[in-house]
Amino acid sequence: MLGILRQRVAAKFNYALNFEQGIGSVALRAFSSSANKMTVRDAINSALDEEMSADPKVFMMGEEVGEYQGAYKITKGLLDKYGPQRVVDTPITEAGFTGIGVGAAYHGLRPVVEFMTFNFSMQAIDHIINSAAKSNYMSSGQISVPIVFRGPNGAASGVGAQHSQCFAAWFGSCPGLKVLVPYSAEDARGLLKAAIRDPDPVVFLENELLYGESFPVSAETLDSSFCVPIGKAKIEREGKDVTIVAYSKMVGFSLQAADILAKEGINAEVINLRSIRPLDRSTINTSVRKTNRIVTVEEGFPQHGVGAEICATVVEDSFEYLDAPVERIAGADVPTPYAANIERMAFPQVEDIVRAAKRACYRSR
């Protein structure tokens, strides 16, 4: 049940990767999906399983999702359970299977299309944007597209430029799409179930390095009707001195940064966005009005990024409440390099978040 853990990742990238929210550092248990803990991988797998079981129109499509049990073992066991008509191994053509998924959705099926990573979604981007996102509008409501595009997004480790880009801002700028960014197992389960049930096209951006991470889950989360509302951010940690807004893996980093800041007397509030589009501007602004300072964190490129949009919304709606300029942490504005040392420099680290929060807090001095 552990799935594939990336040991080299833990060694190279961030030694505190296994840090869990609200619980002290605990080694991963051998049976990670005991009643109160679940890996993100199992969360996604169980969500897919339950939704496919509940609705015969739901089916999966992608490279290696069937016989291989999924490139990252996310779809493990689904082929055996549901058969090749509902778990479809596709030839290597993102344009092909995305187009097919869109067409199937036009006619009322509910496909879940997996991209091996969202970097490869670029080969299918026309179908996602020009067809899936815009069809309901262009057809004046006649053609709805209840499709989910899912797969790992953002940096993995040591995979270079064409396997490491974060596409949250790209998809987030497109009307007609919903864009979700789960962090924890609860997020993954609840948001994926909501996405599959949603009549609109949803882009579901997972993170490869989070697949193996375990999170505590409540009994409610494990229930098959569990859903998390789309468009609502979650306050992972309440605070009053500075707001840190992040999504996906950066939420984990932000929580670690918050612990470090707490030791220095700065009480940080950490917001897990969960949803890029629609963006929960209300939660962000309410928090800023409380703390008066904000730091945004993302792995993606800085220009036209998610942080830029958050900054705009805060300046538009809560300008008088800001006591310091908005701090934006993002990945370096370069195609991701391979060598471990410079790769580390290309992405935000916990220390970067700590320094930014401190700047936000002492800027007025």
Partner 1 sequence: MGSWLARSRNIQYLLKRNICFFDKTHSLLHANSSYKTLPPYETPHGFCASVLSFRRSESTMAGKQAQADDDDGNQSIEFPGGRVGFTTEMDFISEVTDKRVPCYRLLDDDGFLISGTTFEQPDRETAARMYESMLSLQIMDTIFYEAQRQGRLSFYLTSTGEEAINIATAAALSPDDIILPQYREPGILLWRGFSMEEFASQCFGTKDGRGKGRQMPVHYGSNSHNFFTVSSPIATQLPQAAGVAYSLKMDGKEACAVAFTGDGGTSEGDFHAGMNFAAVMEAPVLFICRNNGWAISTPISQQFRSDGVVVKGQAYGIRSIRVDGNDALAVYSAIRAAREMVVREQKPVLVEALTYRVGHHSTSDDSTKYRSVSEIEQWRSTGNPMTRFRNWVLANGWWTDEHETELRGTIRKQVLKAIQVAEKTHKPPLEDLFSDVYDKTPSNLQEQEKSLRETINKYKQDFPADVPL
Cβ atoms of 212 and 6 within 8 Å: the answer is yes
Instruction: Give the residue with the Cβ less far from partner 1, 221 or 283.
Output: 283
Mind giving me the DSSP string for 133-184?
A: ITHHHHTTTS-----EEEEE-S--SS--GGG----HHHHHT-TT-EEEE--S
To partner 1, the closest distance from the beta carbon of 183 in angstroms equals: 22
CB-based contacts of 362: which residues, under 8 Å, 6+ apart? none
C-alpha 10/C-alpha 289 separation (Å) is 37
Instruction: Give the residue with the Cβ less far from partner 1, 73 or 120.
Output: 120
Catalytic status, residue 94: yes
To partner 1, the closest distance from the beta carbon of 361 in angstroms equals: 31
Q: Residue 196 CA to chain centroid, in angstroms?
A: 15
To partner 1, the closest distance from the beta carbon of 282 in angstroms equals: 9
Q: Residue 159 CA to chain centroid, in angstroms?
A: 19
Instruction: Give the residue with the Cβ less far from partner 1, 103 or 160.
Output: 103
C-alpha 41/C-alpha 334 separation (Å) is 30
To partner 1, the closest distance from the beta carbon of 53 in angstroms equals: 16
Instruction: Give the residue with the Cβ less far from partner 1, 55 or 333.
Output: 55
Phi, psi of 307 (to 5 degrees): -60, -35
Instruction: Give the residue with the Cβ less far from partner 1, 15 or 137.
Output: 137
Cα-based distances in Å from 50 to 29, 67, 223, 269: 25, 20, 10, 34
Instruction: Give the residue with the Cβ less far from partner 1, 22 or 175.
Output: 175
Binding site for partner 1 (CB under 8 A): 85, 88, 90-91, 93, 95-109, 111, 126-127, 130-131, 135-144, 175-176, 178, 198-200, 231, 278, 281
To partner 1, the closest distance from the beta carbon of 223 in angstroms equals: 25
Instruction: Give the residue with the Cβ less far from partner 1, 2 or 143.
Output: 143
Active-site option among 51, 63, 94, 327:
94
To partner 1, the closest distance from the beta carbon of 226 in angstroms equals: 21
Cα-based distances in Å from 125 to 48, 118, 129, 160: 24, 10, 6, 21
Provide the 3-class DSSP secondary structure of residue 111.
strand
Structure-token match 């058969």, residue found:
83
Active-site option among 114, 127, 163, 309:
163
Catalytic status, residue 304: no
Closest by alpha carbon to 284, among 329, 322, 227? 322
ω into 111 cis (within 30 of 0): no
To partner 1, the closest distance from the beta carbon of 272 in angstroms equals: 20
C-alpha 272/C-alpha 198 separation (Å) is 21
C-alpha 120/C-alpha 201 separation (Å) is 18
Interior angle at CA 186, CA 133 and CA 110, nearest 5: 35
Q: Give the active site residues.
A: 94, 163
